[in-house]
Structure 1
């Protein structure tokens, strides 16, 4: 009899837990890209990331530095389908970017478009608001120096040959350059992996850059003047 009562108690307890779990609404983190601020209309369309601090690519042969750069693409308002159509870096004076070996470095995108990236809301206290993932990254770097000119190809080291940057909203006090009140993205020493080129090419490189990110107020205008904001 006692055993029967114990069994009944277990059944009741399990049923109660199951009912409680079933009563809790399912929840999953979401991402929404807005115009202007957290309450703005959802934004889908073209985006441009423009360098606001010099970009560097570093290997055991030295560091190349570029002060002009744009990454163009499109994205959906839920952060999916971040597809990159242009990846251009140069220098003023230039157009090639100087390197620490006394020569120049030129970086060219390979196999554009780079599709299937994303913007994902994921705030960190005292830091970023989101991550910006560019997938299928593949670049060719032509570098001159004491060794002559060598051409190396590299890919992103993350999932899907990606690079991942920290994203910041325009009002985040921890954004990289606080004098610019726009959405920003920053990569710090992100690893790139060699895929081909001269035997002189180092097996890896690191990429660092800081961008502001804008959309188009008027779709198709080619004017990147729309402030963007990412929330859940």
Structure 2
């Protein structure tokens, strides 16, 4: 079983994430340089990544200052998968939590398949489209080791997708004036409290983990990508 250490939990969606029901969508084309694009895209965080949950120990929040993912998709938005996720910054091996300690996060069983990208003709939340992973998805297994220093406890919590709704991340093209970080010139993805569910863990684990972050999304060569009808 493949394992990448010290990944950012919310990255599940962009290759990991609003829990979505039905949305207005049309035909989908992924483009780069004005031509259809099939291949790998890279997401790099533009804001801190926060992971939040509530357990018998109270609110537990983890903050990660650096995160990166790689995802693949075909030009018609099908065959999407999350292929890799990592914390690449030297000297920042762990994320910190609000209990005075660090949190280490590991993704098991990558790549995660059963996803894709869809153009949103209704422009819900001013987005141009969304990336999704179908749920339930038994392959998803994200383990968080919470070193809660101020409480003198270590909790090991595994999260997955056990619900019935897709997990989605909003997508904004580089020329969208309503994208989350207007000063960044590239296409972007946004997490806003998307959730993973606890599948196994110790007594102090939150029953779910909510993720919030904003990511820049480009090809592996640094070129812009867009989602269009």
Q: TM-score range by the shorter chain?
A: 0.7 to 0.9
Rg larger for? 1
- The answer on whether the counterparts of 1:176 and 1:210 sit within 8 Å (CA) in structure 2 is yes
1:144 to 135, 142, 147: 147
Report the Cα distance in structure 1 between the residues aligned to 2:183 and 2:62, rounded to whole angstroms: 26
Provide the TM-score with structure 2 as the length reference.
0.78
2:10 aligns to what?
none
Q: 4+ residue stretches of structure 1 with deviation over 4 A?
A: 90-93, 157-160
Which sections of structure 1, spanning at least 5 residues, go unmatched?
Answer: 1-27, 217-223
Report the Cα distance in structure 1 between the residues aligned to 2:157 and 2:40, rounded to whole angstroms: 30
1:134 aligns to what?
133
Number of matched pairs: 194
Return the structure number with greater helix share. 1
Residues 47 and 106 of structure 1, relative CA distance in 2, 3 Å threshold: same
Displacement after TM superposition at 1:159 (Å)? 4.2
- The answer on whether the counterparts of 1:67 and 1:92 sit within 8 Å (CA) in structure 2 is no
Task: Deviation per CA, 1:82-115: give whole Å up to 9, x if none.
Answer: 1111122376752111111111111111221101
1:156 to 157, 161, 186: 161
What is the DSSP-based 3-state SS (H/G/I as helix, E as strand, rest coil) of the residue aligned with 1:30? coil
- Superposition pairs for residues 64-83 of structure 1, below 5 Å? 64-83=62-81
Which sections of structure 2, spanning at least 5 residues, go unmatched?
Answer: 1-24
1:53 aligns to what?
47
Task: Answer yes or no: is 1:196 the counterpart of 2:200.
Answer: yes
Report the Cα distance in structure 2 between the residues aligned to 1:34 and 1:190, rounded to whole angstroms: 26
Structure 1 vs Structure 2 CA RMSD: 2.0
- The answer on whether the counterparts of 2:68 and 2:88 sit within 8 Å (CA) in structure 1 is no
